């Protein structure tokens, strides 16, 4: 058993979180993570309406009596989703943990705090983590360049980003991006984090609600098989390398604009990948850490393996190095 400020603050057994994942962060996965003693987050915007989110929270509660949270991804857009209504649905549901990401969560904090909700803000730079700490979030999760989804534009890998953040952050901190096993967890703790947040590794578990072919593709893929799309638009996203993501890179590198790739990157196409297992139907997020993934375990097997091997690593291998 590994006890850290993260496990204490959020009342979970293990210092492991499953961050919000569009299309994937649903009741089945989040409940499995909670039942395994880690902290899972439902992804609010995967639900088409705030009412659907309320139902998904209730569905999760039917599957677990352990703590879990909700991810609210705030992305500035021309037609933004009704964030306040999603926030209200979270508050009224009685969920006590929220992961915010994508943008400064300051306008949402008072409502969450009034409801006694603990907020972990996920960001991709030391300066944003410092900012989040200064506005009163309870914890930060800091995503290195390796991560699936949005790594930001600074390109600082976790090996530098995590200790650099640890030097400035006094609240509990999760290391995110590139973690999949006990070695990563122990390294994160050594770098100054209080636990790890994983996306890609949880996507490749039995309970992740995505087609088996996606999981098999992740096992087959190496650490080199991701693409950074939207680089020239300064809205970089790391996704699995496939026909569509390579085409998007080619068009934008060739001077194309968002309009030229809009249809290729449509969320409905990405969803088809997960639902139908058509791996070239659209873009789908996956991180470099897929190169370390060699199996499709249950969530319980995965979490148990990580924490058991981490304890062994600390007590046997590392302790054995000291004289
Ligand atoms: C399929 C997928 C979808 C994701 N969608 C979101 C999202 O909607 N909101 C968010 O904050 N992070 C999202 N992420 C990022 C994860 O929460 C997490 O920060 C990231 O995966 C960590 O890096 P790793 O994949 O190397 O573990 C997504 C990741 C994956 C793999």
Domain ranges within the chain, ordered by starting residue: 5-205, 212-288
Best residue for ligand 1 mutational test, from 38, 121, 148, 270 (most atoms within 8 Å of Cβ): 148
- pLDDT score for 274: 98
Best residue for ligand 1 mutational test, from 20, 102, 275 (most atoms within 8 Å of Cβ): 20
pTM exceeding the 0.85 threshold for the entire prediction: yes
Ligand 1 contacts (CB < 6 A) are 19-22, 24, 43, 71, 73, 101, 122, 143, 146-149, 176-179, 197-201, 203, 285-287, 289
- pLDDT score for 78: 75
Question: Model confidence over 168-193: pLDDT tens digits?
Answer: 999 999 999 999 999 999 999 999 99
Q: Which atom of ligand 1 is nearest to the CA of 24?
A: 1
Q: Which atom of ligand 1 is nearest to the CA of 20?
A: 17
Fold of 5-205: TIM Barrel (3.20.20)
Mention every residue, 6+ apart, whose C-beta is less than 8 A from residue 240.
217, 218, 221, 225, 226, 227, 279, 283, 284, 285, 286, 290
Distance (angstroms) between ligand 1 centre and the Cα of 203 equals: 9
- pLDDT score for 116: 98
Within the chain, which residues score under 70 in pLDDT?
none
- pLDDT score for 323: 84
Structure tokens that stand for 62 in this block: 């039917």
Q: Which atom of ligand 1 is nearest to the CA of 198?
A: 27
Q: Which atom of ligand 1 is nearest to the CA of 150?
A: 15
- pLDDT score for 18: 99
Q: Is the dihedral of CA 11, 17, 22, 25 positive or negative?
A: negative
CB 207 within 8 A of CB 29: yes
- pLDDT score for 77: 77
Cα 278 from Cα 321, distance rounded (Å): 48
What's the distance, CA 133 to chain centroid?
Answer: 19
Distance (angstroms) between ligand 1 centre and the Cα of 127 equals: 20
Structure tokens that stand for 130 in this block: 């410092």
């Amino acid at each position: 058993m590994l006890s850290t400020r993260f496990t204490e603050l959020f009342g979970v057994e293990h210092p492991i979180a499953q961050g919000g994942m569009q299309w994937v962060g649903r009741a089945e996965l989040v409940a499995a993570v909670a039942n395994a003693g880690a902290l899972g987050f439902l992804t609010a915007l995967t639900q088409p309406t705030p009412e659907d989110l309320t139902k998904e929270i209730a569905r999760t509660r039917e599957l677990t009596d352990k703590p879990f949270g909700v991810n609210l991804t705030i992305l500035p857009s021309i037609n933004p989703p009704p964030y306040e209504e999603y926030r209200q649905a979270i508050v009224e549901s009685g969920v006590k943990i929220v992961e915010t990401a994508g943008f400064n969560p300051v306008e949402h904090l008072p409502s969450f705090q009034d409801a006694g909700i603990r907020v972990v803000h996920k960001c991709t730079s030391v300066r944003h983590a410092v900012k989040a700490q200064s506005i009163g979030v309870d914890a930060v999760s800091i995503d290195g360049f390796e991560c699936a989804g949005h790594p930001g534009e600074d390109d600082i890998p976790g090996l530098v980003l995590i200790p650099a953040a640890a030097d400035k952050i006094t609240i509990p901190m999760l290391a995110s991006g590139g973690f999949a096993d006990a070695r990563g967890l122990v390294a994160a703790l050594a770098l100054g984090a209080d636990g790890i947040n994983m996306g890609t590794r949880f996507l490749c578990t039995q309970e992740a609600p995505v087609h088996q072919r996606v999981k098999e593709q992740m096992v087959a893929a190496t650490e080199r098989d991701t693409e950074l799309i939207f680089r020239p638009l300064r809205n970089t996203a790391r996704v699995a390398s496939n026909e569509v993501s390579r085409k998007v890179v080619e068009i934008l590198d060739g001077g194309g604009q968002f309009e030229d790739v809009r249809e290729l990157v449509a969320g409905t196409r990405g969803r088809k990948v997960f639902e139908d297992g058509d791996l070239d139907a659209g873009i789908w997020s996956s991180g470099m850490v897929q190169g370390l993934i060699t199996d499709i375990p249950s969530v319980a097997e995965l979490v148990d393996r990580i924490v058991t091997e981490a304890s062994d690593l600390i007590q046997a291998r590392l302790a054995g190095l000291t004289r």
